[in-house]
């Protein structure tokens, strides 16, 4: 694998391979000295055009635990417009000598564009509404950790599917690994077409909850209201929020997931977020190991891993 641009491009075997690598790095992160020299002498650069704390920190932690050097290029949304073309920026960073560029951008497709211009590996850390592949990988890893596998399990993804890169990546990843996915959303927050999506569609969350093993809640953004996509956050919470009452509809073994940051009281009730079945913190923890696996797979020589980690 040269780049990681999206889950849509990955085969089930490639996803499996990355999750298998993640097992090794989870073990590394549990050591007293959670660091390996696998990427010593390699440089990973961030090219973040969009504010992001958790994804950036997670990648940074992953790179450091692999002993890679890091360079950070953060562009505030205001200075982006000052004229340098995306291509010039990408070539500038590459010229400083980097092996991988981790790209986050508010526009769909930017990582794919950068990958055409540079010879370094490109990792998509979230592009517009398109994809967020490392999020999907850590979600798969977390589900596997709790349920043993994804194969045959039923997963509901709830919320703003239309504007969600997490939903797009998760739908591909979950279904490629054999899960049955139902998307649940207000009609205005479904994509304009679901042709070609291997999912079932449901508007009524209450009907879905009793039959799922995983309920995956998406972040509900305030701006969707100003665009008149939903009448109010209150109505959203009443119909699509995971309230205390709705949790009772779930099977006792079912888990609750969220990509973060959570809007407590909107898509998830505060006390639901704190239940042990809500595995949000596990997702974050696994995120570091998954990103180590991705960086290692793209940049590692293969020999450094050996039997050690």
Partner 1 sequence: MSARQRVLIRGGRVVDGSGERVADVAISDGRIAAVEPNLEPKSGDRVLDAAGCLVMPGLVDIHTHLRQPGKEEAETIETGARAAALGGYTCVLAMPNTTPAIDSAGVVREVLELGQGTCCDVRTSAAITMGRAGEQLTPMAELAELGVRFFTDDGNGVQDVRLMRRAMEYANGLGLTLAQHCEDEALSAGGHMNEGEVSARIGIPGVPAEAEELMVMRDIALARLTGARVHFQHLSTQGSVAMVRAAKGGGLHVTCEATPHHFTLTDERCASFDPVFKVNPPLRTEADVAAVRAGLADGSIDCIATDHAPHAPEAKEQPFDEAPPGMLGLQTALALALTHLALAPADLVGLLAARPAAILGVEDIHGGPVESGRPANLCVVDPAATWVVSGTKLASRSRNTPYEGMKLTGQVRHTLLWGEPVVVDAEAQR
**78 near partner 1 (CB under 8 A):** no
Is the bond leading into 204 cis (omega within 30 degrees of zero)?
no
Strand order across the beta sheet in which 100-105 lies: 69-74, 43-48, 100-105, 121-127
Binding marks (x or -) toward partner 1, 164..203, rule CB under 8 A? -x--x----------------------xxxxxxx------
Burial 282-306 (b: 16+ CB within 10 A, else e): bbbbbbbbbbbbbbbbbbbeeebbe
With contacts defined by CB under 8 A, name the span among 11-19, 83-91, 218-226, 231-239 that binds partner 1. 83-91
Report how far residue 75's alpha carbon sits from residue 50's, in angstroms, rounded to the nearest whole number.
7
Could you tell me which of 18, 306, 46, 93 has the C-alpha nearest to residue 26?
18
With contacts defined by CB under 8 A, name the span among 11-19, 55-63, 109-117, 140-148 that binds partner 1. 109-117
Q: Rank residues 103 and 256 by Cβ distance to partner 1 and give the closer one.
A: 103
**86 near partner 1 (CB under 8 A):** yes
Q: Rank residues 106 and 246 by Cβ distance to partner 1 and give the closer one.
A: 106
**225 near partner 1 (CB under 8 A):** no
Could you tell me which of 129, 256, 263 has the C-alpha nearest to residue 190?
129
Q: Rank residues 6 and 300 by Cβ distance to partner 1 and give the closer one.
A: 6
Supply φ then ψ for residue 43, to 5 degrees.
-120, 130
**226 near partner 1 (CB under 8 A):** no
Q: Rank residues 131 and 139 by Cβ distance to partner 1 and give the closer one.
A: 131
**130 near partner 1 (CB under 8 A):** yes
Q: How many CA atoms does the CB half-sphere of 309 hold within 13 Å?
A: 27
Residues of the shown chain interacting with partner 1 in the complex, contacts defined by CB under 8 A: 8, 85-88, 105, 107-110, 112-113, 116, 127-131, 162, 165, 168, 191-197
């Amino acid at each position: 694998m040269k780049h990681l641009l999206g889950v849509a491009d990955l085969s089930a075997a490639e996803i499996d391979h990355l999750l298998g690598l993640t097992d090794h790095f989870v073990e590394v992160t549990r050591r007293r000295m959670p660091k390996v020299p696998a990427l010593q002498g390699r440089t990973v650069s961030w090219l973040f055009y969009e504010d992001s704390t958790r994804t950036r920190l997670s990648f940074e932690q992953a790179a450091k635990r692999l002993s890679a050097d890091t360079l950070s290029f953060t562009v505030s949304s205001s200075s982006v417009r000052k004229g340098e073309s995306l291509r010039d920026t990408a070539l500038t960073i590459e010229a400083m000598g980097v092996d991988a560029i981790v790209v986050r951008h508010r526009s769909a497709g930017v990582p794919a564009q950068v990958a055409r211009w540079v010879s370094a590996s490109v990792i998509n850390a979230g592009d517009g509404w398109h994809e967020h592949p490392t999020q999907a990988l850590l979600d798969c890893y977390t589900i596997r950790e709790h349920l043993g596998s994804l194969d045959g399990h039923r997963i509901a993804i709830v919320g703003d599917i239309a504007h969600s890169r997490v939903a797009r990546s998760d739908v591909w990843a979950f279904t490629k690994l054999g899960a049955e996915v139902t998307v649940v959303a207000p009609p205005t927050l479904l994509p304009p077409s679901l042709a070609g999506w291997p999912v079932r569609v449901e508007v009524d969350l209450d009907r879905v909850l009793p039959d799922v093993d995983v309920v995956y809640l998406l972040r509900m953004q305030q701006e969707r209201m100003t665009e008149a996509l939903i009448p109010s956050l209150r109505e959203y919470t009443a119909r699509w929020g995971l309230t205390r009452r709705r949790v009772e509809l779930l099977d006792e073994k079912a888990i609750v997931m969220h990509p973060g940051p959570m809007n407590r009281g909107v898509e998830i009730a505060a006390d639901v977020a704190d239940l042990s079945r809500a595995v949000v913190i596990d997702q974050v923890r696994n995120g570091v190991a998954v990103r180590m696996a991705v960086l290692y797979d793209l940049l590692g020589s293969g020999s450094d891993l050996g039997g050690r980690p």
